[in-house]
Structures are given as C-alpha cells and as structure tokens.
Amino acid sequence: MSDVSKSLNFIEHIIEDDLAAGLSKDKLRFRFPPEPNGYLHIGHASSICLNFGLGLSYDAPVNLRFDDTNPAKEEQEYVDAIKKDVAWLGFKWDQEVYASDYFQQLYDWAVQLIKEGKAYVDSQSADLIAEQKGTPTEVGSNSPFRDRSVDENLALFSDMKAGKFTEGEHVLRAKIDMTSSNMLMRDPIIYRILHKAHHRTNTDWCIYPMYDWTHGESDYLEQVSHSFCTLEFAMHRELYDWFLDQVVDENKVRPKQREFARRNFSHTVVSKRKLLKLVEEGIVTGWDDPRMPTISGLRRKGYTPASLRNFANTIGIAKRENVVDVSLLEFSIREDLNKIAPRVMAVLNPVKLVITNYEEGKEEWLEAENNPGDEAAGNRLVPFSRELYIEQEDFKEEANKKFFRLKLGGEVRLKNGYIIKAESCTKDTDGNITEIQCTYDPKSKSGSGTEESLRKVKGTLHWVSIQHAVASEVRLYDRLFTDETPDQHKDKDFMEFVNPDSLTIITGYVEPSLKSAKSEDIFQFQRLGYFNIDKDSTEEKLIFNKTVGLRDTWAKIQEK
C-alpha cells in the first residue's frame, strides 16, 4: 500500500497476507458486481467505495460487472442508473463487463460438467427438489433423475437451450453431495428455463445460469484476485470454490471470496424488493425520490459525492452486521456543505415587517459574503427595501431574556443591513400577527464603520425584501419511516411504519440572486439549513429540496 504504516482493516490484511505469500501486486484486480434489477442504495455506496478504494490504494484495476442472469427483473434503465451513480461518486472502472458476456462459456463448462458426471438434468418440480434437500439437521435425498446417463443429460440440456421445454419443466443441477452439512452443496441448480427477453441478448437464450454458478466463474474469467461479498454469501463460499475447482488453470489467478458485514441504516429499508414496493405503490415518486436511500435519491436531495465517500470511510468495514444511525450520514453532508455551500437568505414561514421610517420606494443593494469560511467565494449584492419578510418565529410581542430575536421594544440586526427596533404589530381577527412595524437606525449599516454600526445587539435575523423576493416551492423532507428498524418486526409489515409526514411542501421566498440557479446547485439558507435545486425546477418556478438542517433536530425530537 502507499502507506504501510496506516491502520489496515481486515480486508486489507487479507490482501497484504496474499502479497506476502507470493501473489504478484500486478495480479491484483477487484470488481463491483451489481445486479441491474434496481437502483443502487447507500449500502451499495459502501461496497463501491470499498472495491474502488482498494483499486486506488493498490493501483489495481477494478471492473464494473453487471450480474445480469435474471431477465425477469433486469432492465437497461438500471444499468444506466448504476453507471451514472458509480461515475458520480468519482470512480472509474477498468472494464465494463456483463455476466451475459460469458453465457456461451458458462454453457460450455456446464456441458463439460455433464460429460464428467458432475451435473444432471432434473425433471422434478421446484417443490419436490426443495423437499428432497432436507433440513439443516436432516440430510437430503437423491433425485430419481440423479443417475441419468451422460448422453440423456446432454440431449435434454441441449433441448433446454433450444427452447423445447416450458419454464420449470427441467433444471440442470450440479452433482455434489446430498448429505453435506452445507445445504447449498446439496446438488445446487446451475441452470433454469426462462422464456423471457434479456436486456442484452434478447431471446438468444432460453436457459439462464444461476448466480452461484455465474459469480465465481465470471471472477475467474476476468482474473479478479479478490471477490468481496456481504456476509449472507459466507455459506456460498464452499460452493464458489467447488465450481472454481472444476475449471481453474493452475497457471492463472484463482479468485478468493471473502465476506464483510452488510450495513443496515436506521429509519429506512435497503432491500431492492421493498424499495420497488415503495415506488410501485406510490409512497414515493420514483427511485430518485429524495426520501429514498438510493444514491440517485440522495443526489437529488443534495448530497455530494464527497459526503458519501466520507460516510463510507467513517463507518468502515466490519465482520458483524449492525444498524448505522442515519444521523451519521447527515453529519457527513453537513460537514461537507458547510465548507462549500454558498450562503443565501430565504424565508420559509414569512411575516411582513415594515420599516416605517425608511423612505417608501427606496431600495439599496447590500454587500453580503457568499461563504465566511471561504474568501475565494467572494461577495454578492442583496436588495433591501422598506417592506421585508422575516420568519414568524423570529418575532414575539413579549419574551423572556433568553429570546434573542425580535420583540416589542427590542432591537436586532438585520443580516448585512441595519439595526431595527420593533414598535408595534398588527393582528387579524384570530389574533395572528400579520405585520410588524419597526424603525431603523440609518447610521447602523453593517460594514459602514460608524459608531452606530459597531453597536452590539444580541440577535441577528435573516430576511428578504418583499419587492424583490422570488416565491419558490420548498420541499421539506423527514424520515421516510417512523420506526428505527421498520423491516425488523416479525409481526408487522414494514409499510405500517411509513411516515405520513415525510414530505411537506410550502411556499418560501428567496433572494433574487437565486433566479439563475441550476438543477443540483446547493445553498445554505442562513439559519435554516441546506437546500438544493430540484430537477423539476423551471425558469418560471424554482423548486428547492431540503437536504439537511443545520443541526440534528431529529435527535432532540427522539429525546422528547
């Protein structure tokens, strides 16, 4: 590695041990192998960062391989989305490959297994095959077709390939050991019949290889040195190795499968099947809905590639599964956006404020810095006038000494502007405040250097000029589920925990500098949080998504 003194995780120790045992560094090759049956989610981001991160650490190539062996669930749309997500995260793959590239070779190897007496065509139903598999404490029983002759098996398998049988009529099974303590070794299915068009091979094939048969052989064909999978594949490793035993050339690299723990995340689900259900039932607007834990959903919500990479590095790689609090993910985006997001002013819950001693029709353009932590970000001009919007919660008629915002008889500074004093307010018939009347000190303008401008007041409020304000749709997002582990309840369906208030749409008012903002541009609405421009925005209508608040308010709500 580039820095041998750094602390290594257990995956890196495996690689280092193999190198020390004689594996040449130039033989290292990794892969990220998604199935194109849905959009990638935050859990996949960890796997992407692991495999491509190893490629960067060891200066080794990384393949992007699509394990596309199930045409019933796979689509080109998902392939395109996956490529976009990996590239957006900042990674480049060496080869773009597909399991379907190897269909002919996999078929030829299967024929070889039949000829060697290591595979046979089983003509039983799926239920009977499952029943004969036995249980973890009871051995399985042989299929009545296990001893078919090689010639009969070859003929049947050829006819399966030719499309002469219906789905489920026959399968090809490996002949291993029906008494094995590992049930996956009890004559696993290698091929099944599927009369469905494939997104790449169309109707060229009527039989499709199973994942266990495809995965290791694909690794071998690509000369992948280390095949890292999540823990649910630990029991598959014995079968992975058995399949490799049948085809490997000792002069080539033999892939090594090792497992790490899947990361689960609080207040969400990451099962593609369950995410698809949310889409199909209209709970969300699509795979890229900002409430979804998909990479495309997080991107649309305003997350940055750096924040997801940092998050993956923070949670690291483990051998045991655990639940990662989603607030850690939110911490990562806050930390990143605090450095890069321009500061702007917006009011989301407006009340009108009138400066009675400010000349009617007058306007000023006040200088405001774009990011106090980044001098290179420069400044901008924001318009100021007699009538402004401020947040309703920033004003009270009466308040105690701990309320540092505006109250009758009290003073605050308007950000980048003047010190104002609340003199009176107007209410509607229900007692709601509809207007606040204030006076201002003309000599207190921020940055003017006057004695009055240097006077200290405890509160500073953000605002927008009503005359110049741009009305915008603002989408406020909350947790998609009210329960921390919605899919971990044996007696309840995860859909029962869908948060009915996960999306609130309001009209907010933003400063006019945002008129030219483009899709995915991210800003800090001062004192409110981070927001980005949604792809639904148009020149006539700005739409903002709330990325995250300035603080973790959810933790406080949970405490209460």
- For the chain, the straight-line distance linking the first and the last C-alpha, in angstroms and rounded, comes to 48
SS3 of the chain: helix, strand, coil, percent, to 5:
30, 25, 45
As a whole number of angstroms, the distance between CA 345 and CA 472 comes to: 13
Q: By the 8 A CB rule, do 310 and 332 touch? A: yes
Instruction: Supply the residues annotated as catalytic.
Output: 35, 262, 272
Q: Kindly tell me the number of DSSP H helices and DSSP E strands found in the chain.
A: 13, 29
Backbone angles phi, psi at 375, to 5 degrees: -60, -30
Residues 6+ apart with CB under 8 A from 164: none
Q: By the 8 A CB rule, do 98 and 65 touch? A: yes
Q: By the 8 A CB rule, do 255 and 244 touch? A: yes
CA-based nearest residue to 426, from 416, 436, 417: 436
As a whole number of angstroms, the distance between CA 344 and CA 416 comes to: 11
Q: By the 8 A CB rule, do 312 and 49 touch? A: yes
The position carrying tokens 């924040």 is 307
The position carrying tokens 């925005």 is 537
Q: By the 8 A CB rule, do 317 and 263 touch? A: no
- Two structure tokens written together for 72: 């019933």
DSSP label of 304: -
As a whole number of angstroms, the distance between CA 355 and CA 233 comes to: 68
As a whole number of angstroms, the distance between CA 462 and CA 436 comes to: 15
Which three-class secondary structure state does DSSP give residue 451? coil
CA-based nearest residue to 11, from 44, 45, 57, 43: 57
- Two structure tokens written together for 11: 């995956």
Q: Give 504's strand partners.
A: 476
CB-side neighbour CA atoms (13 Å) of 396: 9
Look up residue 345 and give its amino acid: M
Q: By the 8 A CB rule, do 36 and 97 touch? A: no
CB atoms within 10 A of CB 251: 5
